[in-house]
Amino acid sequence: MIKNAAGRMVPETINGIQQIPYMGIGKFKPKGNKTASAIPSNSNFPDNGNKLVNSLKEALIKAGLKDGMTISTHHHFRNGDLVANQVFDIAHELGIKNLRWFPSASFPCHAHLIPYLEDGTIYSIEGSLNGPLGKFTSEGGMKGTGMLRSHGGRYQAIQDGEVKIDIAVIGAPTADAFGNANGLYGPSACGLLGFALADSQYADKVIVVTDNLVPFPCIPWQIQGNYVDYTVVVDKLGDPEKIVSGTTVVTKSPDRLLLAELTARFCDAAGIIKDGFSFQAGAGGTALSVALYFKSIMKEKGIKARFARGGSNKYLVEMLNEGLIDYILDGQTFDLDGVQSMAENPRHTWTSPFTSYNYHSKGNFADMVDVVILGATEVDTNFNANVVSHSDGYLLHGIGGWQNCLFSKTVIIPLPLFRDRIPVVRDEVTTLCGPGELIDVIVTERGIAINPLRKDLIEKTKDSGLPIKTITELKEEAEKICGKPSKPVFDDRIIAGIKWVDGTLIDVVRQLKK
Amino acid sequence: MIKNAAGRMVPETINGIQQIPYMGIGKFKPKGNKTASAIPSNSNFPDNGNKLVNSLKEALIKAGLKDGMTISTHHHFRNGDLVANQVFDIAHELGIKNLRWFPSASFPCHAHLIPYLEDGTIYSIEGSLNGPLGKFTSEGGMKGTGMLRSHGGRYQAIQDGEVKIDIAVIGAPTADAFGNANGLYGPSACGLLGFALADSQYADKVIVVTDNLVPFPCIPWQIQGNYVDYTVVVDKLGDPEKIVSGTTVVTKSPDRLLLAELTARFCDAAGIIKDGFSFQAGAGGTALSVALYFKSIMKEKGIKARFARGGSNKYLVEMLNEGLIDYILDGQTFDLDGVQSMAENPRHTWTSPFTSYNYHSKGNFADMVDVVILGATEVDTNFNANVVSHSDGYLLHGIGGWQNCLFSKTVIIPLPLFRDRIPVVRDEVTTLCGPGELIDVIVTERGIAINPLRKDLIEKTKDSGLPIKTITELKEEAEKICGKPSKPVFDDRIIAGIKWVDGTLIDVVRQLKK
B16 lies in a domain? no
CB-CB contact of A62 with A45 (8 Å): no
Give chain B positions within 8 Å (CB) of A41.
Answer: 26, 28-30, 359-360, 502
B498 lies in a domain? no
pLDDT at B247 over 80: no
Same domain, B170 and B278: no
Q: Which residue of A has its CA nearest to B329?
A: A217
Q: Which residue of B has its CA nearest to A37?
A: B33
Distances (CA, A) of A492 to A397, A489, A512, B8, B512: 21, 10, 9, 70, 79
Q: Which residue of B has its CA nearest to A42?
A: B363
Parallel, antiparallel, or unpaired: how do β-strands A174-175 and A181-182 relate? antiparallel
Residue type (1 letter), B218: C
Cα dihedral B241, B245, B251, B256, rounded to 10, equals 100
- The percent helix, strand, coil of chain B (3-state, each to 5) is 30, 25, 45
- State the total domains in chain B: 2
> Within its chain, how far is the Cα of A24 from the centroid?
21
Same domain, B236 and B278: no
d(CA B250, CA B267): 20
Q: Which residue of B has its CA nearest to A327?
A: B217
pLDDT at B287 over 90: no
Give chain B positions within 8 Å (CB) of A47.
Answer: 367, 407
Indicate if ipTM > 0.90.
yes
d(CA A301, CA A167): 52
Rounded to a whole number, what is the distance in Å from the CA of B173 to chain A's nearest CA? Answer: 19
Same domain, B214 and B273: no
Among the candidates B193, B219, B243, a domain finishes at: B243
Mean pLDDT of B91-118: 98
Distances (CA, A) of B266 to B263, B272, B365, B448: 5, 9, 24, 9
Among the candidates A243, A273, A294, a domain finishes at: A243
Give chain B positions within 8 Å (CB) of A35.
Answer: 33, 36
Burial class (CB in 10 A: 0-12, 13-18, 19+), A463: exposed
CB-CB contact of A435 with A384 (8 Å): yes
Same domain, B395 and B485: yes
pLDDT tens digits in sequence order for chain A, 514 residues long? 999 999 999 999 999 999 999 999 999 999 999 999 999 999 999 999 999 999 999 999 999 999 999 999 999 999 999 999 999 999 999 999 999 999 999 999 999 999 999 999 999 999 999 999 999 999 999 999 999 999 999 999 999 999 999 999 999 999 999 999 999 999 999 999 999 999 999 999 999 999 999 999 999 999 999 999 999 999 999 998 899 877 677 778 899 999 999 999 999 999 999 999 999 987 777 888 999 999 999 999 999 999 999 889 999 999 999 999 999 999 999 999 999 999 999 999 999 999 999 999 999 999 999 999 999 999 999 999 999 999 999 999 999 999 999 999 999 999 999 999 999 999 999 999 999 999 999 999 999 999 999 999 999 999 999 999 999 999 999 999 999 999 999 999 999 999 999 999 999 999 999 8
Residue type (1 letter), A243: I
Q: Inspect the interface and report whether the beta carbons of B37 and A42 lie closer than 8 Å.
A: no
Rounded to a whole number, what is the distance in Å from the CA of B225 to chain A's nearest CA? Answer: 8
- The percent helix, strand, coil of chain A (3-state, each to 5) is 30, 25, 45
Give chain A positions within 8 Å (CB) of B331.
Answer: none
CB-CB contact of A174 with A182 (8 Å): yes
| Structure confidence by residue, pLDDT tens digits, B16-61 | 999 999 999 999 999 999 999 999 999 999 999 999 999 999 999 9
Same domain, A283 and A194: no
Burial class (CB in 10 A: 0-12, 13-18, 19+), B452: exposed
Give chain A positions within 8 Å (CB) of B29.
Answer: 41, 43
Residue of A35, A220, A409 with shortest CB distance to B36? A35
Residues in contact with B172: Cβ distance below 8 Å, sequence separation at least 6, in sequence order: B181, B182, B183, B193, B208, B209, B210, B223, B237
Residue of A178, A306, A359 with shortest CB distance to B42? A359
Residues in contact with B73: Cβ distance below 8 Å, sequence separation at least 6, in sequence order: B81, B83, B84, B87, B101, B102, B103, B104, B168, B169, B170, B171, B196
pLDDT of residue A90: 98
Among the candidates A177, A208, A243, a domain finishes at: A243
Residue of B26, B35, B361 with shortest CB distance to A40? B361
A145 lies in a domain? no
Same domain, B70 and B111: yes
CB-CB contact of A68 with A121 (8 Å): no
Same domain, A174 and A322: no
Rounded to a whole number, what is the distance in Å from the CA of A369 to chain B's nearest CA? Answer: 9
Same domain, B74 and B115: yes
Same domain, B335 and B478: yes
Domain that holds residue B279: 254-489
Closest-CA residue to A350 (of A366, A368, A336, A332): A332
B79 lies in a domain? yes
CB contact burial A215-234 (16+ within 10 A = b; e otherwise) = ebbbbbbbbbbbbbbbbbbe
pLDDT of residue B36: 96
B496 lies in a domain? no
Report the CATH number at residue B200.
Answer: 3.40.1080.10
The answer to whether the bond into B220 is cis (omega within 30° of 0) is yes
Residue of B35, B47, B502 with shortest CB distance to A367? B47
Same domain, A214 and A329: no
| Structure confidence by residue, pLDDT tens digits, B449-492 | 999 999 999 999 999 999 999 999 999 999 999 999 899 999 99
| Structure confidence by residue, pLDDT tens digits, B344-358 | 999 999 999 999 999
pLDDT of residue A42: 98
d(CA A373, CA A388): 17
Q: Which residue of B has its CA nearest to A502?
A: B41
Q: Inspect the interface and report whether the beta carbons of B346 and A346 lie closer than 8 Å.
A: yes
B172 lies in a domain? yes
CB-CB contact of A320 with A348 (8 Å): yes
Same domain, B335 and B224: no
A469 lies in a domain? yes
Residue of A47, A407, A409 with shortest CB distance to B367? A47
Q: What percentage of chain B has pLDDT greater than the value 90? A: 94
B22 lies in a domain? no
Distances (CA, A) of B339 to A159, A229, B27, B166, B281: 34, 33, 39, 30, 17
Same domain, A230 and A347: no
Q: What percentage of chain B has pLDDT greater than the value 70? A: 100
